Amino acid sequence: MNNKAPDDLIAIAGRFTTTGTATAVQPFGSGNINDTFLVTLDSGNERKFVLQRLNTHVFKSPELVMQNMRTVTEHIEARLKNVSLENGRRWETPRVLRARDGQDWFIDSNSSFWRAITFIESAETFDTIQSTAHAEEVGFGLGMFHNLVSDLPSAMLSDTLEGFHITPRYLSHYDDVISRIRSVRSPETDYCIRFIEKRRALAHVLEQAKAQGKIHMRVMHGDPKINNILIDTATRQAVGMIDLDTVKPGLVHYDIGDCLRSACNPLGEEVEQWKTVSFEPDLCRAIMAGYLSQARGFLSAADYEYLFDAARLIAFELGLRFFTDHLEGNVYFKARYEGHNLLRALCQFRLAGSIESQESAIRSIIREFR
């Protein structure tokens, strides 16, 4: 993606409709896909907004991404008017800001695709779980999001990332890449190759359940890792979910599994000592308590049967994706140094192994909340 000088960013920020004038633009967040900036305004009720340049190598139909985002956020806004939150909780969803030409986006002279969304004040995110209380709020946040969109027909959304969270497709792509690449061998790559070979059947578990009619398509977030769940800086309660680019029709199991694999690894995704990574059952229990406080109304008995599989599968899937991207030369995930995506893959495979080794305990936790 082309770099932009600060003056250019201020000019681009000015393309969107706000009540003030942009005075500063600075990098914001730690996303692996898009370029994200925080814009400061000189006046108005909302003095900040988020400006993003979408990675159109990943999001090949960015207009549909924006259409999905507006459909979901407007539905949530309407639902919130009739939802009574306990204990003075607040819940906010980012709003799409229109460009001055009325579109939900702006395309610059370099064909970069820009969008702007509102900034949610007095909230922060974390890359790693801070406590069991934080874990419960992360679970609540995902459950709240799923609850608010549970009556939104998934057919109203476009599939903007065909094959996203369809694990067999990632496995097929990996097979194609590994067959074309030579001289990739090292102790770490050998470990990854062996890990994948032993778990090929795992890739199909959720898609087979869907094909058999046991679990069904719903609206999914697509990327519910812990740093996409906003926490109120004062109350420490979950107040919203961000990064809605991946919202699409899918299985909520992929969301639940991604939340668990992200939040139950207290060391996080960026760990140099990958062999120290582990899945913590106490955090799993807290997340499930928070999630099911909101999600019990729409989960079926069959949905519960696949929650363990979801947690194990997503750790495996993400490891598979990181490893494949490493082999391809880091074309999807941003890499800050040589071997970064290989290290990320090792962390996820280690986490998947930890989940497998604690299957009985994790299934017992799930039964507690049924």
- pLDDT tens readout for residues 310-359: 999 999 999 999 999 999 999 888 888 999 999 999 999 999 999 999 99
Mean pLDDT of the chain: 92
What the block records as the tokens of 236 is 């420490």
DSSP string, 68-135: HHHHHHHHHHHHHTT---GGG-------EEPBTTSSS-EE-TT--EEEEEEPPSSEE--SS---HHHH
Rounded to two decimals, the pTM is 0.90
The answer to whether residue 224 scores a pLDDT higher than 90 is yes
Q: What's at 169, amino acid-wise?
A: R
Residue 118: the pLDDT is 95
The answer to whether residue 301 scores a pLDDT higher than 70 is yes
Per-domain residue ranges for the chain?
6-121, 132-368
d(CA 193, CA 177): 12
The answer to whether residue 66 scores a pLDDT higher than 70 is yes
Residue 185 to residues 243, 325, 339: CA-CA distances in angstroms? Answer: 36, 15, 13
- pLDDT tens readout for residues 251-276: 999 999 999 998 999 888 888 889 99
Do 6-121 and 132-368 fold alike per CATH? no
What the block records as the tokens of 163 is 């094959």
CATH superfamily of 132-368: Aminoglycoside phosphotransferase (APH), C-terminal lobe (3.90.1200.10)
What the block records as the tokens of 208 is 């087979």
The CATH number of 6-121 is 3.30.200.20
